[in-house]
Amino acid sequence: MTFAALTGWGKCLPPAILSNEDLSTFLDTNDEWIVQRTGMKERRVSHVPGLMLSTVAAKRALACAGVKAEELDLILYGSCSFDEHVPNTASGLQVAIGAKNAAAMDVNTACTSFLYGMSTATAFIKSGAAKKVLVIGVEHISKFMDWQNRNVSVLFGDGAAAAVFEASDQEEGVIAERLHCFADARQSLRVRGKGASYANVGILYGDTRWDFDGQEIFKKAVTGMGEGSVEVLKKAGVTIDDVGVIVPHQANLRIIEAVVKRAGATMDKVHLTVAKYGNMSAATAPVALVEALEEGKVKPGSLVLIPAFGAGLTMSAHLIRWGGRTTPKEVSDAELPPCERSALDMVRELMALKEPHARSEAALMGARFVEAG
Ligand SMILES: CC(C)(COP(=O)(O)OP(=O)(O)OC[C@H]1O[C@@H](n2cnc3c(N)ncnc32)[C@H](O)[C@@H]1OP(=O)(O)O)[C@@H](O)C(=O)NCCC(=O)NCCS
């Protein structure tokens, strides 16, 4: 039987840090509220496009696996803030790393995009359709943020991570998974301003308004991630005590605590990044996984539980059996170009660019999108 081993991992965080204090210089918010309600202290703002973040992450993951880019059969590029839609961004990454023999596909399930990509990579490898697959989770969400809206703008950050999956005859990689979508609640997170519904109606591209029902998402996240975790443990015939480390999606510390309780675990089993990176959507879980590896929290042969959720509302839960290696084969020297500006300056610039277009508000709220049913 063929399995899909996770053999390479790499992350890329843009260096500019936006603190809670920075946010309180232009929003009616404060450090105490953000820390108490979310567990977040700071997040990153990227000075380069998402493709550049993912290129660095991909080169680091390939070096870690000891795999050459030409050996890749498939690239899965998980994001909801693509640099452009046509051509797809996966093809841009193919060029950037020289993966000339690969197929290239974008995946968008919002915050769970990397994890849906991981399931797709595993299925391609298990079916024999591919032997080596690169999966990306990346967001440049600061570009699409409605910065004046404190309900959402304190929650998100930019980042990227990548993983290499290879065919193996050892039982490793994803051993149980649950993918689902609470589509009835899809209205609870909608970014107005992105997509064809908003084209040619007088809206500046990138000027967004977020429909966001945080409490509804909170409830669905706890239910979905909690039940998904229990289900994958059952499918694999193991208990939570057999899990070495839990690497959840990190949208809110309180969500993580509730999910971990439902799964029957304690917080000492969880790798947390929420305080320093916030919610990087598709990049969140893979960045946390890479950090857990770097900090020695993933042991050879151990089980890693990854519950996640995102807009849609999509959910996922994966149980990974780790292989024998938890350190990189090689280390890449890929780096981002230096960043000359502060995160706050970049955010102020984004807000200033949108200011003259405030009149697009009516168009944004009035634009029609078609709902099925
Ligand atoms: C968004 C979230 C942090 C809000 O926390 P909450 O405890 O539900 O807070 P509420 O929405 O009830 O808001 C409480 C009050 O704080 C205010 N508030 C909201 N954002 C604020 C901010 N950044 N600073 C200060 N006050 C804020 C609200 O206006 C509200 O004020 P009111 O009581 O006077 O109306 C929480 O619901 C959450 O984490 N949701 C899920 C996260 C998510 O959806 N992530 C994206 C998908 S992955």
| Residue 373, pLDDT score | 41
Within a domain: residue 284? yes
Closest residue to atom 38 of ligand 1, CA basis: 214
Mutate to test the pocket of ligand 1, among 37, 79, 148 (most ligand atoms within 8 A of CB): 37
Domain count, the chain: 1
- The whole model's pTM is what? 0.96
Is 252 among the catalytic positions?
no
Residues with CB under 6 A from ligand 1: 29, 33-34, 37-38, 111, 150-151, 154-155, 189, 214-215, 217-218, 251-252, 279, 309-310
DSSP string, 280-336: -GGGHHHHHHHHHHHTT-S-TT-EEEEEEEEGGGEEEEEEEE--S--S-SS-----P
* Number of the ligand 1 atom closest to the C-alpha atom of 151: 20
Within a domain: residue 137? yes
The range of the structural domain enclosing residue 270 comes to 3-366
Residue 25 Cα to ligand 1 middle (Å): 18
Within a domain: residue 84? yes
- Over its length of 373 residues, how does the chain's per-residue pLDDT go in tens digits? 999 999 999 999 999 999 999 999 999 999 999 999 999 999 999 999 999 999 999 999 999 999 999 999 999 999 999 999 999 999 999 999 999 999 999 999 999 999 999 999 999 999 999 999 999 999 999 999 999 999 999 999 999 999 999 999 999 999 999 999 999 999 999 999 988 888 888 888 888 999 999 999 999 999 999 999 999 999 999 999 999 999 999 999 999 999 999 999 999 999 999 999 999 999 999 999 999 999 999 999 999 999 999 999 999 999 999 999 999 999 999 999 999 999 999 999 999 887 766 656 777 777 666 564 4
Within a domain: residue 371? no
| Residue 364, pLDDT score | 73
Within a domain: residue 222? yes
Is 249 among the catalytic positions?
yes
CA dist 150 → 220, 230, 274 (Å): 21, 34, 18
| Residue 359, pLDDT score | 55
The answer to whether 138 touches 90, Cβ cutoff 8 Å, is no
CATH number of 256's domain:
3.40.47.10
d(CA 206, CA 194): 7
Task: Dihedral sign for Cα 100, 90, 251, 47, please.
Answer: positive
The answer to whether 63 touches 332, Cβ cutoff 8 Å, is yes
Is 318 among the catalytic positions?
no
20, 111, 271, 318: which is the annotated catalytic residue?
111
For the chain, give percent helix, strand, coil, nearest 5.
40, 25, 35
Exposed / middle / buried, residue 305 (Cβ in 10 Å: 0-12, 13-18, 19+)? buried
| Residue 246, pLDDT score | 98
Residue 252 Cα to ligand 1 middle (Å): 10
* Number of the ligand 1 atom closest to the C-alpha atom of 252: 39
Within a domain: residue 182? yes
Closest residue to atom 17 of ligand 1, CA basis: 151
Q: Which residue has the tokens 């993966």?
A: 99
Closest residue to atom 29 of ligand 1, CA basis: 151
Within a domain: residue 373? no
d(CA 150, CA 134): 35
Within a domain: residue 351? yes
| Residue 321, pLDDT score | 98
